A and B are shown apart, each in its own frame.
Chain A
Amino acid sequence: MAFQKVWVVAEAFEGKPLSATLELLTKARELGATVEAWCWGGDVEAYAAGLGEYGASKVYSVGDVGGVLPGVPVAAAMAEAVNGGNKPDAVLFSTGYDPRDIAGRLSAKLNVGVLSNVVGLAEDGTSEHAVFGGTTVVRAAFSGDTPYLYLVRPKSFAAEPGGGGAATVETVSVPDAGAANGAKIVQRHVEERTGPKLDEAAVVVSGGRGLGEAEKFSMIEELAKLLKGAPGASRAIVDAGWVPYSYQVGQTGKTVKPTVYIACGISGATQHMVGMKGSKNIVAINKDQEAPIFSIADLGIVGDVHKVLPKLLDALKNRS
């Protein structure tokens, strides 16, 4: 089917739409005649222009949801619009904390399925999914009622402005969701982090179990800083508690596509590779010549991270 109207669930941070949102708007523009976005939170007016530039003609603003987790109120408002006759053919969500909640809630409310982990989407609504560590592509299609709900992995599509004007903002009230709307945020904790974000950095330097101990992750951080990049990690060292989950690259972590990805002491498990094999250039340092990471590296160094990295850090420091 050809889509007439596509909704995008938009997320913003510090008054700016997330790149994942702009990617979805770009894709939605390719798919449908009309693109509309849904947002929540206070400063929608401020970034509506940005959403318009990437293709949204209208932004539905649910407004401040009063400190509750957004899943319930946003899905309730969207479902009410659909049931009232304002029905899109498809809704695109990015795979993030809140959009995933909204997608699950909306699916159950409207009794329509969700296709998750989407990495490609054709005009006829067929979605692509990377399985078995990205070695296999599965295509899937909906056969039931619209709207079709797609949960898309960030970095699946490029974000390109379409030159549209500012989107009009329509404030939408939230229907009473009763007891379901009971999860309240009482306190936020923000971890200090400097440098570019992992999924937006041009250079990503990741460390794995081959570093041997948590303290050695400082080499990864130092190298990332020297290259103006972001540090990342394999799940092995996230699970071991060396670094926070937000550093994790892979199937259950972030997808990254930097100009250069440098994997240090990472074996290259399929679940790790699916999150970084889209990088433009890959450098790997591993002492095991047989490590699978070498099968996708543009430059593979068979060596000890404890020998190569200190020398590399010195060489880079001497240049600057």
Chain B
Amino acid sequence: MNVAVCVKQIPDPATPGKLDPSTKTLVREGKLILDDSDAYGVEMALQLVDKAGGGEVTLVSMAPNSEVSGLRTALAMGAHKAILVSDDALKGSDALTTAKVLAAAIQRAGADLILAATESTDGYTGTTPVQVAELLGLPSVTFAKHIEVDGSTVKVNRQTEAGFDEVECPLPCLVTVTAGVVEPRYPSFKGIMAAKGKPVEELKAADLGVEVAVGQQVTDVAPAEERQAGEVVVDEGDAHERIVQFLEQLKVI
């Protein structure tokens, strides 16, 4: 079984985000890393291919400046190869344009199953994967907390507001995973060395026949209204009384 995994390469979330004052979009310069959210999809793909007894895991990513750091991390985990779409023309792409690029790259790779994260850490639109599925004419199951492949059917436990649903879907299809789906492995030293030699095919939007049209713009950036801090009390063994008083004042009790 061949699995394609969408992996986003993002600025390190530990460093504070910045907006470019002229374009008003998120600054994505400098070294990018593998989005943590996508490590789950990579791990799931590796385990499913392993269980199926063969096949390949292909990474698909769109990122600026020919960035491969995040891809190397996922290759070091064990993915076989990667397709990277990097093109200045794609700067500031919205989710739909990103989806068009990813869909075309996935078509090129060919896959029985496509995995992505439920939402990315930096963009968190959460729509890109479903847009990919629609563009490819495939079914999709979002919010997976458990995945099994049984022949040509994928069985997913899909998180819901009330609990979860057992969903079955024929392959090929797209599934988005939550953080609960598997525990991602850490790349081993051997894996890191092997990753250096694994193939990364780099493409432009035009190679995939994707036309770039951005239909939304940031018009304004402003600081949000601040909430003021109130009183801070150090507990001397009677702080619970202050809380009771506070709740009484509010007529909550």
Contact = CB atoms under 8 A, between A and B. Distances in A.
A115 B221 CA distance: 16
A315 to B, nearest CB: 5
Cβ-closest 4 pairs across A and B: A303-B235, A144-B215, A104-B130, A108-B134
Interface residues of B, number: 75
Nearest to A245: B159
A143 interface: yes
5 contacts: A103-B130, A104-B129, A143-B215, A179-B139, A188-B163
Interface string A286-320: 00010000111111111110011101100110010
Interface in A102-118: 103-105, 107-109, 111-117
Contacts, number: 250
A299 B215 contact: no
A202 B237 CA distance: 28
Contact of A203 (B223, B232, B239, B252): B252
Contacts of B127: 100, 103-104, 107, 114, 116, 151
A210 B226 CA distance: 26
A186 B154 CA distance: 12
Given A145-B215, A203-B252, A302-B232, A308 B240 contact: yes
Interface in A60-118: 69, 71-72, 75, 95-97, 100-101, 103-105, 107-109, 111-117
Contacts of A262: 243
Interface stretch (A2-10, A27-35, A45-53, A129-137): A129-137
A271 B54 CA distance: 40
Interface in B126-147: 126-131, 133-135, 137-143
B95 interface: yes
Interface of B: 16-17, 19, 24, 94-96, 99, 119, 124-131, 133-135, 137-143, 158-170, 173, 178-180, 213, 215-224, 227, 229-235, 237, 239-244, 246-247, 250, 252-253
A299 B217 CA distance: 40
Given A259-B250, A283-B243, A300 B164 contact: no
Contact of B137 (A95, A101, A179, A298): A179
A1 interface: no
Interface in A173-195: 178-191
A180 B137 contact: yes
Contacts of A214: none
A142 B96 contact: no
A105 B231 CA distance: 48
Given A300-B231, A303-B234, A308-B235, A144 B167 contact: no
A319 B243 CA distance: 14
Interface in A124-152: 126, 130-132, 134-145, 151
